[in-house]
Amino acid sequence: MVNTALVTGASGGIGLELARIHAEKGGNLVLVARTESKLNALALELKEKYRVEVTVITEDLSEHESAKRIFEQTERLGIQIDTLINNAGFGGHGKFHERELEAEQKMMQVNMLSLTSLTHYYLKGMVARNSGHILNISSTASFMPGPLQAVYYATKAYVTSFTQAIAGELIDSNVTATALCPGAVATGFVSAGNLEGVDLWKNAKSPRSVAEYGYKAMEKGNLVAFNEAPLKFMMDWVVPLLPRKMILKISRNAMEKTA
């Protein structure tokens, strides 16, 4: 049976590369994002190159009912989702009290609430079939507080915690949940989040390399996946031992703009 994956945020960056990787393996796809033209272009590419079936769903995951609409559409079309890749997400730079509250609320909706809803909708079917994979794109940001990106870091902490918790609930099944926690990645995230000038992105990894690592980790059923060994060591063994105020200082310095 062909494995069908639903990928959110599939119009660019890590999501686009994850869609390509899945198609390369002969899997069908449901592509979800806000920009229909980009999704249609990617769908055409994947159909022609890999002879897979691709469905495009244009939705804005910052809208409260968007996850429900996506699920209902796949149900109407009779599409069984075997792999759920929750990739959509965005950040934003600046002091919390100076940022627009609406922007922070939309970030929480996309990064947490829509991700949670989609997982709930599709996980039920996976459990019933005793088969399936969930890949939630989180971040190394999930392991510490993030001054100047306070809400973004907090949303990713939720994603990493939530993913591990449901993985623990699925331990006796053939359904897996994996949190991919990359560091800086060279995507549109930088411009969308007003992060130009932050030194952290000078050595950002390519979306393709991160997607390849994450996809393999998902296939293996890994719990938390770091695409860089130094980051894994830092988050697992160094950060937990540092004083909280030192972590805050390090975290803030990493987000300060130098240009």
Query: Which of 137, 136, 118 has its CA nearest to residue 126?
Result: 118
Q: Is the dihedral of CA 154, 207, 137, 238 positive or negative?
A: negative
Give the strand pairing for 83-86 and 54-58: unpaired
Give the span between the Cα atoms of 79 and 73, in whole angstroms: 9
Instruction: Reduce the DSSP state of residue 108 to 3 states and report it.
Output: helix
Phi and psi at 18, nearest 5°, equal: -65, -40
Structure-token pair, residue 87:
């990739």
Fill in the amino acid letter for 75: E
Q: Are 142 and 94 in contact (CB under 8 A)?
A: no
The answer to whether 92 and 103 have CB atoms below 8 angstroms apart is yes
Catalytic residue among 121, 152, 153, 215: 152
Q: Is 153 a catalytic residue?
A: no
User: Half-sphere exposure of 11 toward its Cβ, with a 13 Å CA cutoff?
Assistant: 18
Strand partners, 4: 28
The position carrying tokens 């998902």 is 218
Which residues form the catalytic set?
Answer: 152
